[in-house]
């Protein structure tokens, strides 16, 4: 692709499967039924990839302080000795239904990862299920956990306890290919000997992020450096901003929600543009037991504009016909990374975590 | 600052000094007069920082193939043995005028840097002149040069020869403080012993980018990791997109310009938000000898929204009253880098330049 300008079209129909609120009292089965209904609708519209939100199967439980065994119900167990998360009785029906419809699925869930010694580590995770391969072909664990380990102590503080319930992801940002998602992909066995000649011709290159990750340009860039063509990102985003002590920033609810949506769109559109990839950004939205989550589910073009946007704060299928060859207009020009990036000046990005200010004068 | 939520106000009035077209036949003196007139207007509006465009003093000459001595007129000489760029007779009058008005200036220029052996290296540079210190306190050389070394050969191709005329900047992304830009700054001599306690109280922390740099999240992040509060960025941006061979992408002029402006705004707003800083983004705009440049001069808030935008494609002063304490709402929460960044997963950003795709299946 790096030498030609008109890559062959690689069309595919994709969908964001926005979910309305999931309340504490809603059963897993209810939620699964809603998700499968969206898949049925997707199949009728010829969708081949369906993207669901972060922690899709339950309410966004990190807003509550939950202790002991009460917490277990929110997690699905990945025990290498018994098979992966796709064996979870809570998740398997979704993948089985997707298989029957021939639709790939991205979905977020709370993962309890059983270790060799029997202990467990919990992650905020997503899986990419390939209907073509009938298995999970991509896995991601959220790297940028917001919130705090300890509950905020001031009266009336809003809690965001992701740092309490989850460990930061330990898989990095691993792009992968989705077999058979577009027809006619060049395979390893019949590829040109020159790797660059295969760019933009193989099975689609997918990346995954979860919620807060989308605000971190580093995450997008590490995927960009793997040539991703479609970013999938589910989220649960509170419709107001809080201060460092957990209080709502003092502004009208409408203005607050507008600001949260601005930040969401700047993150998704800006980073899709800067990495020349599509992105499918999917909300769990509406008020979960009175706690408002923004909507703003959007499918974004590699040129940065929004192709399609949700109209509601309920379960809603947002469908777009996209052409992966559109990624190469910018990948071959403005963002031809090998021509323009200057890594010798980027070292602080990996060498320090917090800001180090210039000395006072 | 990291422990409090309500930093003291640090108000300052800033301006983007947008320039209309500079044609090949326009004299340096004409352009200087236009710039000084904008400074006069700025002084009447109590402006303390005035930001001019990239390569402000001449037409955007990298659109032409120019050879030999004809090229010299576009450059200003920095010869360490004879003083810095502020001694250039082409530039000194601007700084002298700024001094008389008490206004700091960011300005872009073509730098011919004389080496010890008498040879020279050319850069696309900017300087930050402090009226308080009456000297240049910050210097930047553009890192992300677009375009090509050799002219495009296809008939009718548009040229962008920055890679021919300039070396990539060798200074990295050095933030610095602007002495006296806000009154009452904490100085080193009276600072708290705990460095974190001084954050958000000292002289303003400034970063500089030039044009194409603003599309590269790495550049913003390296500045973000130095706690910058104000990003200054001048640009000359063509009002249409070209393909890899230098031909205009086939779309209506209005649609093309809208797309270029979308990319400009996503870059400036998205990266200001993701680094919680103000940004002052300033165009040279209008048609230079028939070559259209976009406008879109904008001053952006750390929350990502546009505070003020140019209305014309001519010389225009765009003024905003800003409060640097606004940076800390996000610096202390969403983008509290030391709490949330996970550098162990960012290594590809410095370890590879081009994209390395996952293997074909």
- Structure token digits, residue B267: 């870059």
Does the distance separating the beta carbons of B179 and A334 come in below 8 Å? no
- Number of A–B residue contacts, CB under 8 Å: 268
User: Torsion over CA of A6, A9, A13 and A18, rounded to 10 degrees?
Assistant: -20
DSSP per position, A10-46: -EEEEEEEEB----TT--HHHHHHHHHHHHHHHHHTT
Separation of alpha carbons B324 and B327, rounded Å: 6
Q: What is the mean pLDDT of chain A?
A: 95
Mean pLDDT of chain B: 95
Q: Do A222 and B176 touch (CB under 8 A)?
A: no
Specify which residues B310 forms β-bridges with: none
pLDDT over 70 percentage in chain B = 98
Cross-chain Cβ contact B217/A222 below 8 Å: no
- Name the more confident of A101 and B198: A101
Task: Determine the distance from the C-alpha atom of residue B297 to the mean position of all C-alpha atoms in its chain, rounded to a whole number.
Answer: 12
pLDDT surpassing 80 at residue B194: no
pLDDT tens track for B72-122: 999 999 998 888 899 899 999 999 999 999 999 999 999 999 999 999 999
Q: Which of A177, A332, A338 sits opposite B358 (nearest CB)?
A: A177
pLDDT of residue B35: 98
Residue A119, C-beta contacts closer than 8 angstroms, at least 6 positions apart = none
Cβ-based contacts of A218 with chain B (< 8 Å): 217, 221, 341, 345-346, 349
Could you read off the pLDDT of B202-226 as tens digits, one per residue? Answer: 999 999 999 999 999 999 999 999 9
Residue A192 has pLDDT above 90, yes or no: no
Torsion of CA A355, A358, A360, B2, to 10 degrees: -10
Q: What is the pLDDT of residues B121-133, one digit of tens each?
A: 999 999 999 999 9
Q: What is the ipTM of this complex?
A: 0.97
pLDDT of B192 higher than 80: no
Query: Residues of A with CB below 8 A from B304's CB?
Result: 262-263, 266
Inform me whether the pLDDT recorded for B5 exceeds 60: no
CB contacts of B245 in chain A (<8 Å) are: 5
Candidates B346, B347, B352, B356: best to mutate against A (most CBs of A within 10 A) is B346
The DSSP line for A76-122 is EEEBGGGB-GGG-TTTHHHHHHHHHHT-EEEEEEEEEEE-TTS-EEE
- Give how far B345 is from chain A: nearest CA, Å: 5
* Closest C-alpha to A75, from A57, A48, A63, A54: A57
C-alpha distances in angstroms, A347 versus A271, B195, B210, B343, B351? 20, 23, 20, 11, 9
**How does residue A4 score in pLDDT terms, banded at 50, 70 and 90?**
very low
Residue with the larger pLDDT of the pair B5 and B241: B241
Residue A47, classed as helix, strand or coil, is: coil
Block residue for tokens 């301006």: B15
State what percent of residues in chain B have pLDDT above 90: 88
Q: What is the pLDDT of residues B130-174, one digit of tens each?
A: 999 999 999 999 999 999 999 999 998 999 999 999 999 999 999
Mutate to test the interface with B, among A138, A266, A277 (most CBs of B within 10 A): A266
Residue A356 burial class via C-beta count within 10 angstroms: exposed 0-12, middle 13-18, buried 19 and up? middle
A282, pLDDT greater than 70:
yes
Q: Which helix (H) or strand (E) holds B179?
A: none
Q: Which of B280, B275, B272, B278 is nearest to B331 (CA)?
A: B275
Instruction: Judge contact between A13 and A47, C-beta under 8 A.
Output: yes
Out of A192-201, B236-245, B259-268, least confident range = A192-201
List pLDDT tens digits, range B307-326. Answer: 999 999 999 999 999 999 99
Backbone angles phi, psi at A111, to 5 degrees: -105, 125
**Rounded average pLDDT over B174-192:** 92
Q: Per residue in A51-82, pLDDT tens?
A: 999 999 999 999 999 999 999 999 999 998 88
- What is residue A3's predicted lDDT score, i.e. its pLDDT? 44
Q: With contact defined as beta carbons under 8 Å apart, do B97 and B36 qualify? A: yes
Q: Which domains does chain B have, with CATH numbers?
A: 11-351 (3.60.110.10)
Q: Where are the extended beta strands (E) located within chain A?
A: 11-18, 49-51, 75-78, 104-114, 120-130, 135-141, 176-177, 205-210, 230-236, 278-284, 286-288, 291-293, 298-300, 306-309, 316-323
**DSSP designation for A262:** H
Contact B203 A345 (CB under 8 A): no
Which secondary-structure segment (H or E) carries B317? strand B316-323
Pairing of strands A230-236, A278-284: parallel
SS3 A73: helix
B211 is catalytic: yes
Angstrom distance (rounded) from CA A29 to CA A334: 47
Instruction: Say if residues A349 and B223 touch (Cβ distance below 8 Å).
Output: no
Residue A2: pLDDT over 60: no
Rounded CA separation A190/A184 (Å): 12
Query: From the centroid of its chain, how far is CA A147?
Result: 18
Question: Which residue, B278, B281, B249, is CA-closest to B265?
Answer: B281
Here the tokens at position A208 are: 């995954």
Can A357 be counted among the known catalytic residues?
no
Judged on CB neighbours under 10 Å (0-12, 13-18, 19+), B109 is buried
**All residues at 6 or more sequence positions from B322 whose CB lies less than 8 Å from its CB, including other chains:** B11, B12, B13, B14, B278, B299, B301, B307
Question: Which residues, at least 6 apart from B258, have a Cβ–Cβ distance to it below 8 Å?
Answer: none
Are B313 and B319 spatial neighbours (Cβ–Cβ below 8 Å)? Answer: no
The answer, yes or no, to whether residue A228 has pLDDT greater than 60, is yes
Q: Please compute, for residue B205, the number of CA atoms within 13 A of its CA located in the half-sphere on the CB side.
A: 28
The answer to whether B358 and A226 have CB atoms below 8 angstroms apart is yes
Q: Please name which of A81, A104, A89, A111 lies closest in space to residue A171, comparing C-alpha atoms.
A: A111
User: Min CA distance, B32 vs chain A (Å)?
Assistant: 31
pLDDT category, B278, cuts 50, 70, 90? very high
Subunit contact A198:B172, Cβ cutoff 8 A:
no
């Amino acid at each position: 692709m790096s030498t030609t300008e008109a890559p062959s079209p690689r069309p595919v129909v994709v969908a964001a499967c926005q979910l309305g609120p999931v309340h504490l009292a809603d059963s897993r089965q209810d939620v699964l039924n809603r998700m499968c209904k969206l898949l049925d609708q997707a199949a009728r519209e010829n969708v081949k990839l369906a993207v669901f939100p972060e922690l899709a199967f339950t309410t966004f439980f990190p807003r509550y302080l939950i202790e002991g065994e009460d917490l277990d119900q929110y997690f699905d167990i990945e025990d290498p000795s018994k098979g992966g998360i796709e064996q979870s009785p809570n998740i398997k029906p979704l993948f089985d239904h997707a298989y029957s419809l021939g639709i790939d699925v991205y979905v977020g869930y709370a993962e309890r990862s059983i270790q060799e010694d029997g202990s467990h580590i919990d992650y905020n995770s997503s899986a990419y299920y390939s209907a073509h391969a009938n298995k999970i072909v991509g896995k991601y664990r959220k790297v940028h956990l917001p919130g705090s380990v300890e509950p905020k102590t001031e009266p009336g503080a809003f809690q965001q306890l992701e740092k309490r319930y989850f460990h930061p992801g330990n898989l990095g940002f691993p792009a992968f290919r989705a077999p058979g998602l577009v027809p006619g992909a060049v395979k390893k066995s019949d590829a040109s000997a020159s790797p660059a000649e295969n760019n933009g011709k193989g099975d689609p290159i997918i990346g995954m992020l979860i919620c807060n990750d989308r605000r971190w340009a580093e995450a997008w860039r590490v995927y960009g450096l793997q040539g991703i063509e479609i970013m999938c990102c589910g989220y649960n985003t509170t419709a107001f901003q809080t201060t460092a002590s957990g209080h709502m920033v003092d502004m009208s609810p409408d203005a607050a929600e507008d600001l949260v949506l601005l930040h969401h769109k700047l993150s998704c559109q800006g980073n899709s543009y800067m990495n020349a990839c599509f992105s499918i950004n999917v909300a769990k939205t509406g008020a979960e037991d009175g706690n408002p989550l923004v909507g703003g589910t959007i499918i974004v073009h590699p040129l940065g504009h929004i192709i399609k946007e949700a109209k509601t704060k309920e379960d809603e299928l947002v469908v777009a016909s996209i052409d992966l060859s559109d990624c190469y207009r910018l990948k071959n020009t403005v963002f031809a990374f090998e021509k323009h990036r200057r890594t010798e000046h980027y070292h602080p990005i990996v060498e320090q975590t917090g800001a180090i200010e210039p000395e006072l004068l």
